[in-house]
A and B are shown apart, each in its own frame.
Chain A
Amino acid sequence: MKYELPRENDQQHFMSIIEKMSGQNIRLCYQCGKCSAGCPICHEMEDSPNQIIRYIQLGLKEQALSKNTIWLCASCQTCSTRCPQQLDLAKIMDSLRILHQQESLQQNIPFSTSAKDFGHRFYNSLLNGLQMDVRSNVNAFSDLFLKMVRHYGRQFETGLIYNYNVNSGFLFSNVLKGPMMLMKAKINLIPEDVKRREKVEKIFSKIEQLEKSEKEKR
C-alpha cells in the first residue's frame, strides 16, 4: 500500500471540514487504538476506527470516505466513552457519513429504493457471493426507516423488515426470527394507528423544503 499525501493545505482543509462538522479537534488523537479495541463491530470493518481518524489527520479524504467502517459504525459510543483524549468518535463517524451523502447528492448519484435499483442490487449481491453492499444497504435502511415513519406516522417494523429485505436483495434474512417476535409482540402485522398523521407529514415536507432551498443556495 502506498499513499501520496495531499499538500498541507488540502490536508488542513479536509480535517477542518470534519472538525467543523463534528466539533472535535482531530489533532487530539494520539493513535492509542482504544476506540478500535472496544468497538463491537471492529471485526467486520475494512479499517479500524483509529485508522479512519488517521486518514483524516493526513487529509486522505478518499480513504476515509470509501471504507465500510463509517457505515458499519452503530454509534454505540463505546469509543467516545473510553477515548482517553475525550474525542467523540461517534460524532466524527456521523460527520463522515453526512459528508459522503452530501457529496454523492452533489455528484447526482442519488440513492433510491426503486424497483429498478432492486434488480441491480439483487444481481450484484449474487455476483459478489452474497456479500452485502453495506453502504447502499445502510442507506436503504435509513431511507426506508424514514419512509415508514412518514407514511404511518410512527415506525411500522414489519413493513420496514419486508421492504428492507426486498431492497437489500437478501429476501429471507432474519425471516426465521419473525414468528418469535410476533409471538412476543415485538412486531405487528398491522400498522398501529396514529392520531393526526398529517402533522408528521407536515414535518417531513418542511424538512424537504429546507433541504431544497439549501441545495439551491449551494
Chain B
Amino acid sequence: MARIGVFVCWCGSNIAENVDVVEVARYAATLPGVVHSVDYKYMCSDPGQKLITDAIRTQHLDGVVVAACSPRMHEVTYRRTVATVGFNPYLFEMANLREHCSWVHENKAEATIKAKNLVRMMVEKVKQNQPLYQIQIPVTKRALVIGGGIAGIQAALDVAAGGYEVILLEKDPSIGGHMAQLDETFPTLDCSQCIMTPRMVEIVQNPNITLYSYSELDALEGYIGNFTAKIRKKARSVDITKCTGCGVCQQKCPAKVPSEFDEGLSTRGAIYVPFPQAVPNKPVIDREHCIKFTKGKCGLCEKICPAGAIDYNQQDEIVEEKVGAVIVATGYDLLPKDTYAEYGYGQYPDVITSLQFERLVSASGPTNGELKRPSDGKIPQKIVFIQCVGSRDASQGRSYCSKICCMYTAKHTMLYRHKVPKGEAYVFYMDIRAGGKNYDEFVRRAIEEDKAVYIRGRVSKIYLQNGRMVVRGADTLIGGQVEIKADMVVLATAITAPKGIDKFAQKLGVGYDLHHFLSEAHPKLRPVETNSAGIYLAGACQAPKDIPEAVAQAGAAAGKVLGLFGGKNLCREPIVAKVNESTCIGCFICQKACAYGAIEMKGLKDRKGNVIKVVASVNTGKCQGCGACTATCRSNSIELEGYNDQQIYAQINAIGFTND
C-alpha cells in the first residue's frame, strides 16, 4: 500500500481566496493511499518546505503531492526540497491549484471541487511513479564560435578567458566584421578601429583560440556537449605558412574588383587583403575575378611573390572539430541596392548608404577620411540623411525597426559638421529612438550643438533638377511639403538578416523568425539560448543591435558556455523517451516525428554478433521529452519517462472516480 503525503498550499490568498484549501486537505486525507495531508500558507517558504521534509522522515512517505502553483514556478524548488532528505525527486508531483484553478475560476464551491479532482489525479499518478535518476552526459569542453565580427570576437575571447579552447570561424578573409568598417562610434565618438583592432590581434595571440578565416561550416552533427563540426577551409590559393604578408601581390594584381570593405567605393585586386589591419594579414585569391582562374592567363602574382607562397592548385579542405557548444554570431547585411527606386539608390552616384558614408569619413577609407562625394569628388555642402529606409516599412516586407539608425545618423551629422563646419545637415526622421545610456543626450547634441536640422517626415522622392538632386519630403509638424537641394543623400538602410541564413539555421537546427533573424529560446528569460540545446546566439543575427548590446550578448552567451563547461558532466532531467526494444518493429515513424533528431537506429545483435533486428534508440542528449514519438509509435514501444501510459491512464481514470 502506498504511503503518500499531500501538501496543500494557500499561496497567501492567491489560492485560498477562491479554493477552500482546508477542505481540500481534509478531503485528500480520505483518499486511498494518502497517509498525511496538511495545508499551509506558503508551502514554498522555509517552514513550508520543512513540513514536507519532516513528513517524509516521520511518515516514511513513498510519494509526495504538493498542491500549489504551476510546476513551471516551483517544481524545481520542491524537487530540491525532497532530495535533501534522500527522497527521489521524481516520486514527487505537483497539482496546479493556482494557474489551473483559483486564478481562472470565480465560484469558490466549484473551484474547490476542481481542486479536489486535480489533487486526486496527482495522487493516482504518483502511485505509478518510479524513481528516476539524472542523466549524465560527458561534455567536450571546446566551443565553436561562428562569425568573426565584434560579437563573435568578444564571445571567443570570453570563453577563452575561462580557460577553454575556442574555434573561431570566419567566412571572409579577415575577422572584424562590420565594426571594422566604422569610423567613430556613438555615443562617445571613440574611434572604432582603435577599439576593434586590438581585439582582433588578441584573437591571434590567445593560445586558447584557433582561428579559421575564409572558412565556412559545412555541417554540424551531434548534440549538446558532443557536436562534430565539419568546417570547409576555402582554398586561399596562398600558402599562409610561406606568405610573409609583404603585399607586393595585391599591388601588382591587374584585376579591379569593387572592394567589399569599402562598400564598393574603391577597388581591390583579385588577390587581396581586405584592409591593412586585417587579421590574418595574409591575402586570398578571389577566384571568381582572378584572371588566371577565369581566363587561364596572367599568373603575375606567382611570378613576383618573393616567398613563393602562391598556390593556384590549392583545394578546399574539410576539417572536423569536436566541440561541446556553439555560439552563432553571424551578424547582419544591409538592404539590397535595387530597392527604393524613388530614392535613386544605385542610380544616382551621390545617393549612398550609411555604411558607405562611414567609409567616406573613415581615415582608413578610400578618400583617407576626406569627405568627398563619389560623383565628382567635391566636398558636399548640404547632405540630406534619410532614416527608416527599408525598415518600419510593411510594403517592403520589413515592419521591424532597424534600431541603430537613429543613433548612427545623429553621429553622421556630427562627423559631417566636424569635417565640413559650414555644411548643412538635414535629417528626415519618423521617430527618434534613442533609448540607451547617454543616447538621447547624444541626439540632442547633434541638434543643439552641431546644428543638424531634423525634419519629422518621410521623403517621397529624389529627383534631378539642373543636375542637382532635389529631395522632396514632408514635414508633418508644419503639415506640408519641403524640398531640399542636396549635394549628397545618405540612406539609413535597414539591417537585414544575411542572405541564406535560413538554410544555415536549418543546418544547425535553430529557429528563425519572419525576417530570418535567429530565434532565442525565450525573449526575456533565455535571450541568448536557442531551442537547440548547446547552441547560443550573439549579436545582430538575433535582431538589429548596436555594438554595446552585441558585446553584452556575446558575454552572456560565453557565460552560458562557461556554465556548461564548468561541471564535470552535463546533468539532464531524466524526462526522456525510452524504447521497448523487444516490441519495436523498426518502422522509424518516430524518427520523422522527432523535431530534435534524437531517434537513432540501433542494431540488436545475437551472440555471434549478427544484426538480427534494427530498432529505434533514443539519444538522451538530444531528447527534449516532448513526447511526439510516443504518440506516433504504432506498436506502442516508446514511452516518455515520468509520463508513461500507466501514469497518464491513472490520472485520467481518477477524473471519473470520487469518494465523496
Contacts and interface: CB of A to CB of B under 8 A. Distances in A.
Interface in A45-97: 47-48, 50-51, 78, 82-86
A36 B456 CA distance: 12
B481 A42 contact: yes
Interface centre among A39, A43, A48, by most chain B C-beta atoms within 10 angstroms, is: A48
A34 interface: yes
B149 interface: no
Contacts of B342: 38, 82
A154 to B, nearest CB: 36
A33 B457 contact: yes
A38 B457 contact: no
A37 interface: yes
A43 B644 CA distance: 74
A12 interface: no
A112 interface: no
A58 B348 CA distance: 40
A27 to B, nearest CB: 13
A78 B460 contact: yes
Contacts of A33: 456-458, 473-476
A84 B475 contact: no
Contact of B480 (A32, A34, A35, A48): A48
A106 interface: no
Given A32-B430, A84-B396, A37 B479 contact: no
Given A33-B458, A36-B457, A39-B481, A50 B430 contact: no
B460 A31 contact: no
A180 to B, nearest CB: 27
B394 A48 contact: no
B392 to A, nearest CB: 7
Interface string B369-406: 00000000000000000001000111110000000000
A125 B322 CA distance: 87
B459 interface: yes
Given A43-B481, A48-B481, A31 B476 contact: yes
A33 B480 CA distance: 9
A38 B480 contact: no
Given A32-B430, A32-B458, A38-B461, A83 B476 contact: no
Given A30-B430, A84-B392, A84-B395, A36 B472 contact: no
B430 to A, nearest CB: 5
Given A48-B480, A50-B476, A82-B342, A37 B458 contact: yes
A34 B459 contact: yes
A42 B392 CA distance: 24
Contacts of B396: 84
Contacts of A39: 460, 481
A30 B431 CA distance: 10
A48 B479 contact: yes
A38 B430 contact: no
Interface residues of A, number: 23
A28 B460 CA distance: 18
Contacts of B481: 36-37, 39, 42-43, 48
A84 B480 contact: no
Contacts of B480: 36, 42-43, 48
Interface in B463-505: 472-476, 479-481
A134 to B, nearest CB: 18
A118 B394 CA distance: 48
Contact of A34 (B394, B460, B475): B460
Nearest to B475: A33
Interface centre among B392, B430, B481, by most chain A C-beta atoms within 10 angstroms, is: B481
A51 B481 CA distance: 12
A48 B392 CA distance: 22
A34 B474 contact: yes
A51 B395 contact: no
A204 to B, nearest CB: 39
A34 B393 CA distance: 11
A33 B388 CA distance: 13
A84 B396 CA distance: 7
B30 to A, nearest CB: 55
A31 B476 CA distance: 8
Given A48-B480, A50-B474, A51-B479, A32 B457 contact: yes
A79 to B, nearest CB: 9
Interface centre among B456, B460, B475, by most chain A C-beta atoms within 10 angstroms, is: B460
A167 B390 CA distance: 48
Contact of B474 (A30, A36, A84): A36
Contacts of B473: 33, 37
Given A43-B481, A84-B458, A36 B476 contact: yes
A25 to B, nearest CB: 11
Interface in A1-48: 28, 30-39, 42-43, 47-48
20 contacts: A28-B394, A30-B392, A34-B460, A35-B460, A36-B479, A36-B480, A36-B481, A37-B457, A37-B459, A37-B461, A38-B461, A39-B460, A39-B481, A48-B481, A50-B476, A78-B460, A82-B342, A82-B460, A83-B395, A84-B393
Given A32-B458, A47-B479, A48-B480, 7 more contacts: A31-B476, A36-B480, A43-B481, A50-B479, A82-B342, A82-B460, A84-B396
Interface of A: 28, 30-39, 42-43, 47-48, 50-51, 78, 82-86
- Report the 7 A-B pairs with minimum CB-CB distance, sorted nearest first: A38-B460, A33-B474, A37-B460, A33-B457, A37-B474, A34-B458, A36-B474
